[in-house]
Structure 1
Amino acid sequence: MDLEFARTFAAEWLDGWNSHDLERILTHYHEDVTFSSPVIAQMTGDASGTVHGKEALRAYWATGLERIPELRFELVDVRASVHALVIDYRNQIGGRVSEVLTFRDGLVISGFGAYGETLAN
């Protein structure tokens, strides 16, 4: 992975989220994706904070988009690694978030969100 790919991906990812188009967002994710976040734990009551599979991710994000109609992300920075990238952004309440996304076959196979002082409402 190179920084150009990471920046292009992040721009498409951000546009997808800001459009609130769930299917557009999900085009970047593998069927076997695993995603973890403290917001998952907060919203679902599942202490593991993890969803497994694209369908579970779809259900979780559909609920999130419904509960947070003002959701909006602002890109702060993007970094690339060997098979992963980090998207650093601010959410709709000004909270700083980093998402670490690992790829397999060009799609996100695993990821996690890491939050600063505030979590999403």
Structure 2
Amino acid sequence: MTRLSRSDLEHHATTWIEAWNRHDVGAVIEPFAADAVFVSPRAATVTGDATVRGRDALHAYWIKALDAVPDLVFKLESAVCDEAAQTVLVHYVSHAGGRTLRACELMRFENGRQIYGEAFYGADLTQASV
């Protein structure tokens, strides 16, 4: 059974941000297990359901979502890693579609593959001081 080290989890957070900033959906979904589950209120606006099941469905969702925000850029704020639980919470600032938001994503791994992800979004910071 593959277990990710703290360093592996931190590396995942940085490479995940970099992949999003390149708009490389293939690289974003590469760590996901085939039957992974992702939960996000934003998914509901694109797919009709806040829960996306399976790597292929995630790929389709993120391709469609990126089409709507071609200016998407993430800035990593922090990554909180729990090696025992095989989780990383990635805290970032998202700039897309003229909006700036604080966000975070909880990522859970099993056997070295991401099996679960959940996105959380804060208030729109576009008019506020960040």
Asked if Structure 1 and Structure 2 have the same fold, meaning a TM-score greater than 0.5 normalized by the shorter chain, the answer is: yes
Q: Which runs of 5+ in 2 are unaligned?
A: 125-130
The answer for unaligned runs of 5 or more in structure 1 is: none
Which secondary structure state, in structure 2, belongs to the residue aligned with residue 78 of structure 1? Answer: strand
Show the 5 A alignment for 1:11-50. 11-46=14-49, 49-50=50-51
Q: Which position in structure 1 is the counterpart of 2:63?
A: 62
* TM-aligned CA deviation for residue 88 of structure 1: 0.3
Separation in 2 of the partners of 1:80 and 1:39?
Answer: 24
Aligned partners of 1:2 and 1:80 also within 8 Å? no
**TM-score w.r.t. structure 1 length?**
0.90
Alignment TM-score, normalising by the size of structure 2: 0.84
- CA shift, 1:117, in A, is 0.9
Cα offsets for 1:29-84 (capped at 9, x unmatched): 111110000101122333xx000000110110010111110011000000012211
Q: Which residue matches 2:73? A: 72
Q: Does 1:51 align with 2:52?
A: yes
Count, aligned residues: 117
Q: Who is 1:104 aligned against?
A: 110
Please state how far the C-alpha of 1:7 moved relative to its aligned partner: 1.6
Pairwise CA distance, 1:2: 4.2
RMSD: 1.5
Aligned identity (percent) is: 31
